[in-house]
């Protein structure tokens, strides 16, 4: 798209020159050093934050199927639940697995499968819960399970149906607002990179916004059918690839890539 032009008179030539004064694209290297430093600091912090987010996702979902690592079954269990384990077992094998030693985790799971005996709770289970769990699960936070007492603990030993709708709604709006802001900043910085063809560059910028809609929508659909867990995985991969591509290209072109702006030819016309 052509930029605006202004008219100038060249001294001693008697010619009127049309000179471009505005362009629709500016590369990083045309910005002052301070602006490039600002972009770099933003990218570094966003990159570290994204790595921590990936670690959190892995820690909160891995192992739900009783096997090490993150699998498609773990994702399906997180959102649709498990037909073979209770909520308490799912938490102990998944996000809470690192909070207890293996023997204590086995004691809790064994107690659940033996029928939630109250006497055994008082002698063996309650000391574990008081020592390992009640500091966070004391009932003061309505968004996490209350384990402070036999009845409260027994209530979690029911069939695992995955995240409830209200939890999904709460997490959905947090993710949509937060990730939109992150990728707006990332896309704004990346928009100054020299990437051709332009349609590909635009597709890279748009990809994370499409991915987050697919990702969050598939959370709800996975509760209906576990096959949609694949959509969660694939949309998350698209989100990560888009982030990585924009981050690497931006950092490379800010400090290493040598860009030369192509100026349109100057048109001269004699003064009449």
* pLDDT given for residue 180 in this prediction: 94
Q: Would you state the pLDDT for residue 1?
A: 42
Residue 90 pLDDT: 72
Q: Is the pTM of this model over 0.85?
A: no
* pLDDT tens string 135-180: 888 888 877 778 888 888 887 777 666 777 888 888 899 999 999 9
Q: Quick one: tokens of 233?
A: 């995985």
Q: How far is CA 123 from the centre of its chain?
A: 43
- Strand 82-86 to 15-20 pairing: unpaired
Q: What is the pLDDT of residue 19?
A: 47
**Distance in angstroms (rounded) separating the CA atoms of residues 143 and 125:** 23
Residue 248's CB is within 10 A of a number of other CB atoms, namely 12
Three-state SS for 21? coil
Output the tens digit of pLDDT for each of the chain's 272 residues.
Answer: 444 444 445 555 555 554 444 567 789 988 999 999 999 999 999 999 999 999 988 888 877 776 778 888 888 877 877 766 677 777 777 777 777 888 888 888 788 777 788 888 888 888 888 888 888 888 888 777 788 888 888 877 776 667 778 888 888 999 999 999 999 999 999 999 999 899 999 999 999 999 999 999 999 998 888 899 999 999 999 999 999 999 999 999 999 998 876 654 445 445 44
Distances (CA, A) of 188 to 142, 196, 204, 205, 243: 38, 17, 12, 9, 13
**How much is the pLDDT for 256?**
93
Tokens of 202: 């635009």
Q: How far is CA 180 from CA 173, 174, 210, 231, in A?
A: 11, 10, 11, 19
- Alpha-carbon distance of 258 to 27, in angstroms, equals 10
Task: Give the pLDDT of residue 155.
Answer: 79
What confidence score (pLDDT) does residue 188 get? 95
Question: CA of 41: how far to CAs of 109, 122, 182, in Å?
Answer: 47, 54, 14
DSSP 8-state secondary structure symbol assigned to residue 136: T
Q: Which of 158, 84, 152 is nearest to 121 (CA)?
A: 152
Q: Which two tokens stand for residue 229?
A: 């867990």
């Amino acid at each position: 798209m052509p930029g605006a032009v202004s008219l100038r008179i060249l001294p001693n030539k008697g010619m009127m020159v049309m000179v471009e004064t505005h362009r629709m694209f500016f590369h990083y290297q045309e910005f002052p050093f301070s602006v490039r430093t600002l972009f770099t600091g933003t990218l570094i912090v966003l990159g570290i934050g994204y790595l921590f987010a990936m670690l959190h996702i892995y820690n909160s979902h891995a192992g739900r199927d009783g096997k090490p690592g993150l699998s498609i079954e773990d994702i399906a269990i997180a959102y649709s639940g498990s037909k073979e384990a209770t909520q308490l077992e799912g938490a102990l094998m998944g996000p809470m697995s690192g909070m207890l030693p293996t023997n204590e985790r086995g004691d809790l799971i064994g107690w659940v499968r033996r029928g939630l005996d109250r006497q055994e709770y008082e002698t063996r289970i309650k000391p574990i819960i008081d020592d390992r769990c009640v500091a966070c699960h004391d009932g003061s936070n309505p968004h996490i399970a209350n384990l402070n007492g036999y009845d409260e603990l027994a209530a979690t030993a029911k069939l695992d149906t995955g995240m409830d709708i209200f939890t999904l709604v709460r997490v959905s709006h947090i993710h949509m607002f937060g990730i939109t802001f992150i990728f707006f900043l990332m896309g704004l910085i990346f928009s100054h990179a020299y990437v051709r063809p332009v349609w590909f560059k635009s597709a890279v910028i748009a990809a994370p916004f499409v991915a987050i809609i697919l990702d969050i929508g598939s959370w709800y659909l996975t509760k209906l059918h576990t096959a949609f867990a694949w959509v969660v995985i694939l949309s998350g991969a698209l989100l990560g690839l888009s982030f990585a591509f924009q981050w690497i290209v931006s950092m490379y072109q800010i400090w290493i890539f040598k860009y030369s702006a192509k100026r349109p030819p100057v048109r001269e016309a004699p003064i009449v």
